[in-house]
Structure 1
Amino acid sequence: MRPTIPQLDTWNLEGLHRAAEAARANADILSTSVDDCSRAVSTAGSWHGQTKDAASRRIDEEVDHGYEVRTVLLRVADDAEDAYQGLNHSKTYVLDQKNLAVAQGFAVAADGRVTHPDPEKEGDAGVFQLNLMSGLDEIERLDNVFGTRLRESVGDLGAMRDGQPDITLADGSVQDPDAVAIRLASMSPDERATFLAGLSAQAQRQLVIAAPEKLGNLNGVPFVMRIEANEINVRNALTSERAEPNRDESRITQLEAMLAPVPNPEGTGTLAAAAAATGKDATPRLDMVDRKFVMFSTEGNGRMIEMIGEMKSGAPGVGVYVPGTSTNLNGSGSNHVAAWNLADKSGSPVFLYMEGDFPQSLTSPSDGAPSPGFAADMAPRLVDFGREIDREVAATTPGTPVSYVGHSYGGSIVGSAEQLGLRADRILHASSAGTGVFDTGWNNPNPDVQRYSMTAPGDLIGVVQSYPHEGLRIPGAVGLPGNPHASELLGGDPDELPGVTRLDTGFYSDGSTDHPNEVVFGSDGHGKYWDDPNSTAFENIVGVISGSDATAYVERGIETRYVDIGLGDNGDGGKEAFDAAKAAGAGALADAFGDPNLDPYANPHITDNPQLGEKIDVT
């Protein structure tokens, strides 16, 4: 409902907060109880026979039922708390605007209309009225959204009082949802998609409640179902982690952040890094939305695929962002912020792709960035997920271009996936580790794919890109292995390949925290532009995803007190290695003389070509 301002002034929303706490507490009690019951039966080692078998089967059924009820209780708790937070913020905003307007002599009607006896203040009255109407609109939206969700949850609880109800399939038959979930797991993605398209919305929701851990990560399951399932999976993971005797507090913080609302990326402004790390936005807005995950797992270092924005008609593009070395679930806040800002600035849905373990070390040959194993493992998954994106695009916004952006090690993952047949409309290698780990060319089934790349001058990844695939053979010395991210046919440097358009990393914006208005350069040039949504490099990523325009590459001469990168150094492995060695030597020498924090790339000065490149159309 849409309240009047006097009605809103009487709303007491604390009951929603108390309801959320009660539902969560009851979910915890239920979970502990069924776990204790299951444990008691399973540890009865001296008891055997038909009675034991029957009791075990019955207990398993009740444990499963208990988990399903817990799932709905946690959904009630989450929705009630989100409703409380959103409505409370909107209520405060509307009443503050009303009080401010009245204090300045404006008249505020019950429905939010604002007037003033002085005709010259008509414009100010319009601003107040717009603010009040926006706040009331948001209250109405929140009330409708969460009212519907809570009614559905209450209905689900009533329907499953004596067990999870059966669901009706497209052929009219009735089956237990757990059995249907097992059947789905044996299907191909195309078969799943066809099967699920024949179910009612109610049947789909019952399937999600019955088997969220299965449906959340199955290809062929519509994203809307995967998102609902993974919201449950994240809640369950948080509940389980909180119950651990040795809790991972970083994981708890991350899971809480994943369940906390964030500003809608279809609004304006940028998202701060602190907000994603804590789940608490420093400047709450009226248009807060839940985060959406189309894949989630606590396996390994933690895995997820987050969808930021909406798959809908009118979006100029769809983006998939694959980050690089050191990426993991607990530390994914900065990746989320970057993806959110890409979605915000491009007006397109963006997927943060973390469906696997990334190397956590820059140097370890066996389990660090030099290892091709992580890319070889993740590339086929990215190919499969690309098919799921194409399926969703065909269903929601046919013909919308899909772009893949691989940063650093993520560039190797994207390149390797394209070697295995990833279909894409646009590819962008951003400070990429290489072209792919397999000894083949790219095999994109789209003959019209557009490929782009960008690497900052002085970025140490340039040495890796230029390092020969076959390694180095020095007479009289042990041979050095080649670049594991360099395809035998393509080499390792996407910047230098025919058919790849190199873009300019350009300059940081005046709002950059670390390098305001400086040229993107050196070791920080490898990734700092991801933290600056108004930098040239970030805007180029936006341009590729949205299909607007981008800034073409300009080679520059750049020097600091310790490093001098001249024209012709970029792409020349020997010169790039020499430049990197000078920087490393300056740092080591400074460290030896008591200055461990010396940055040899600090205070860069452009000696050649300070201008930005020309704008090119991305179509």
Structure 2
Amino acid sequence: MRPTIPQLDTWNLDGLHRAAEAARANADAVSSSVDDCSRAVSAAGSWHGQTKDAAARRIDEEVDHGYEVRTVLLRIADDAADACAGLKHAKTYVLDQKNLAVTQGFTVADDGRVTHSDPEKEGAAGVFQLNLFSGLDEIERLDSLFGARLRESVGDLGAMRDGQPDITLADGSIRDPDAVAIQLASMSPDERAVFLAGLSAEAQRQVVIAAPEKVGNLNGVPFAMRIDANEINIRNALTQEKAKPNRDESRVKQLEAMLSPIPNPEGVGVPDEPPVATGPEATPRLDMVDRKFVMFSTEGNGRMIEMVGDMKSGAPGVGVYVPGTSTNLNGSGSNHVAAWNLADQTNGPIFLYMEGDFPQSLTGLSDGAPSPGFAADMAPRLVDFGREIDREVAASAPGTPVSYVGHSYGGSIVGSAEQLGLRADRVLHASSAGTGVFDGGWNNPNANVQRYSMTAPGDLIGVVQSYPEGGLTIPGGIHLPGNPHASEVLGGDPDEVPGVTRLDTGFYGKNIDGHTVGEVVFGSDGHGKYWDDPASTAFQNIVGVIAGTDATAYVERGIETEWVDVGLGDNGNGGREAFDAGWATTEKELFGVENPYANPRITDNPQLGTRIDVK
């Protein structure tokens, strides 16, 4: 409903908060009870026979039923908490705006219309009225959204009092949702897609409630179902983590963030910047949306695939962002913000791809960035997920181009996936570790794929890129190890592969972490700092590739600091790049220079490159 301002003033939302807490407490109680019952039967090791087997089967059924009830209770708790937080903020905003207007002599009607006796203040009255209408619009949206969700959840809870209700399949037969979930697990992705397309929305929801841990990560399952399932899986993971005697506080914080609403990338907000509640700069928290995960697992260092933005007709492009070394679930906040900024600027969905473990160190030969094992493990999964993106695009946004952006180690993952047959319309290697860990060239089914690359001058990854797979022997008989991410056909440097268009990393667009607007992207920070600067040339080039607009072509520059001199011809020359990197390291370690790349000056070619159309 859309309240009047006097009605809104009487709203007490504390009851909504108490309801959320009660639902969460009841969910925990149900979970603890069925777990205790299951453990008690399992602990009866000296008891054998048909009665034991029958009791165990019955207990398993009730445990499964209890988990389904817990799932719905947690959904009620989260929706009630989100509704309370959103409505409280919007209520405060509207009432603050109303009070501010009244104190300045304006008249505020019950429905939010604002007037003033002085004609010269008509414009200011219009601003107040717009703010009030925006706040009331948000209240109406939240009320309708969460009212429908809570009614649906209460209905589900009532329907499963004696067990989850059966569902009707496309052929008219009746099946238990748990049995359907087991059947789905034995199907191919294509078979799953066809089967689920024949179910009603209600039947699909019941399958999700029955087995979210199975449905959330199955290829062939529509993304909408996977998103609903993984919301449940994340809630359950949070509950389990909080119950541990030595819980991981970083994991708790991350899971809570994954369940918290974010500004809609198509709206007016930005991540991590709260709106102003009062005053001339006042802005309501408009159009907050839930985060969406089409894959989630606590395995290894934590895994997920987040979809930021919506798959919709008219989007200029779909982007898949594969990050690099040190990526893990607990520390994925900066990756999420980068994906949000890409979705915001491209006006299309961006998938943050973390379906596997990434190396957590730069140097470990077996467990760090030099190891090709992580890329070899994730590449086939990326190929399979690419097929799922194509399936969703065909259903929701036919003809929309799909771009893959691999940063650092993620570039090796993307390159390796292309070797295995990843279909893509555009590929961008951003400060990439190499072209791929498998033998052979890229094997993209799309003959018209467009490939791009960019590496900042002085980026240490350039040293890695420049050496072939088998290594290099330098004067004195010293053998340098090769790039493990180098294809024997393509080499290790995506910037040098024929048919790849190299783009400019260019300049920073805002003051960020010791760098200033207009400073050239350079050195060790040039490897990834541009991801934190949506206004930088490099970030804008990523946007241009995904959106299919234009980008800035590469310009080789001479750049020097007080300690380092990268000259023309150094880029792509392994010996020179190694010398530059070694000199910077020497200055840092022997002479205590904090940052040898600080305060760079361009000695050659300070201009930006030409603009090129992205097809």
Q: What range is the shorter-chain TM-score in?
A: over 0.9
CA distance in 2, matches of 1:395, 1:577: 49
* Contact map agreement 1:426 1:544 (CA 8 A) in 2: yes
Is contact 1:263-1:284 (8 Å) kept?
Answer: no
Percent of aligned pairs sharing the same letter: 83
Residue 375 of structure 1 corresponds to 375
Give 4+ residue runs of structure 1 displaced > 3 Å after superposition: 272-275, 473-481
Is the CA contact (8 Å cut-off) linking 1:273 and 1:334 kept in structure 2? no
Aligned to 2:278: none
Once structures 1 and 2 are overlaid, which stretch shifts more, 430-439 or 129-138? 129-138
Task: Specify every segment of 5 or more residues in structure 2 that has no aligned partner in the other structure, as ranges.
Answer: 276-282
1:465 maps to 2:465: yes
- Do the aligned residues in 2 keep the contact of 1:406 with 1:430 (CA within 8 Å)? yes
Aligned to 2:549: 548
Check 1:5–1:274 CA distance in 2 against 1; reply closer, same or farther (3 A cut).
closer
1:323 shift after superposition = 0.2
Q: Distance in 1 between matches of 2:126 and 2:474?
A: 76
The residue identity in structure 2 corresponding to 1:219 is N
Q: Is the 8 A contact 2:550 2:613 kept in 1?
A: yes
Cα 1:546–1:259 shift into 2, 3 Å: same
Deviation, structure 1 residue 514: 2.5
Moved more, 174-183 or 118-127: 118-127
- CA separation in 1, counterparts of 2:414 and 2:176? 40
Structure 1: any 5+ residue segments left out of the alignment? 276-282
How far does the alpha carbon of each residue in 1:477-502 deviate from its partner, in whole angstroms, 9 at most, with x for none? 57443211010110011111111111
- Per the alignment, residue 392 of structure 1 pairs with 392
Where does 1:572-591 land on structure 2 (aligned, <5 Å)? Answer: 572-591=573-592
* 8 A contact 2:317–2:401 mirrored in 1: yes
1:361-420: CA deviation from partner (whole Å, max 9, x where unpaired): 100111100000000000000000000001111111111111100000000000000111
Report the CA distance between 1:97 and its aligned residue.
1.1
CA contact (8 A) 1:326 1:358 kept: yes
Matched residue, 1:618: 614
Q: Distance in 2 between matches of 1:342 and 1:223?
A: 20
Structure 2 residue matching 1:427: 3-state secondary structure? strand
Q: In the aligned structure 1, how far is the partner of 2:27 from the partner of 2:376? A: 41
SS at match of 1:305: strand
Secondary structure in structure 1 of the residue aligned to 2:304: strand
Alignment check: 8 A CA contact 1:268 1:344 kept = no
1:231 is aligned to 2:226: no
Does 1:608 find its partner at 2:604?
yes
Q: What is the Cα deviation at residue 246 of structure 1?
A: 1.5
**1:274 to partner: Cα distance:** 11
Paired with 1:566 and 1:270, the residues of 2 have a C-alpha distance of 39
- Name the CA distance, whole Å, in 2 between partners of 1:490 and 1:105: 72
Alignment partners' CA distance in 2, 1:501 and 1:509: 23
Change (3 A) 1:273 1:99: closer
- TM-score normalised by the chain length of structure 1: 0.96
Partner residue, 2:182: 182
Q: State the shift of 1:286 in Å.
A: 2.1
Identify if the C-alpha distance between structure 1 residues 459 and 270 changes in structure 2 by more than 3 Å, giving closer, same or farther: farther
| TM-score, structure 2 normalization | 0.97
Deviation sequence 1:211-268 (CA, Å, 0-9, x none): 0000000000000000000000000000011111121111111111111111111123
Asked if the contact 2:23–2:74 (Cα under 8 Å) also holds between the matched residues in 1, the reply is yes
In 2, Cα distance between equivalents of 1:284 and 1:512? 27
- Residues in 2 aligned to 1:298 and 1:255: alpha-carbon distance in whole angstroms: 10
In structure 2, what residue type is equivalent to 1:449?
V
Alignment partner, residue 25 of structure 2:
25
What SS does the corresponding residue of 1:218 show, helix, strand or coil? coil
1:191 partner amino acid: E
The one-letter code sitting in structure 2 at the alignment partner of 1:354 is: M
Matched with 2:566 is 565
Amino acid at match of 1:538: F
* 1:311-346 CA distance string (max 9 Å, x none): 111211111000000000011011111101111111
> Could you tell me how far apart the structure 2 residues matched to 1:297 and 1:477 are?
48
Q: 1:435–1:494: 8 Å Cα contact kept in structure 2?
A: yes
Amino acid paired to 1:599: N
CA distance in 2: counterparts of 1:5 and 1:273, whole angstroms: 27
Kindly provide the amino acid, as one letter, of the partner of residue 613 in structure 2. Answer: D
What is aligned with 2:58? 58
Q: 2:163 corresponds to which residue?
A: 163
1:279 corresponds to: none
Aligned to 1:404: 404
Deviates more, 1:266-275 or 1:311-320: 266-275
The aligned residue for residue 245 of structure 1 is: 245
Letter of the structure 2 residue corresponding to residue 511 of structure 1: N
Q: Secondary structure at the match of 1:140?
A: helix
558 and 478 in structure 1: CA distance in 2 versus 1, 3 angstrom threshold: closer
**Any idea what SS the aligned residue of 1:250 has?**
helix
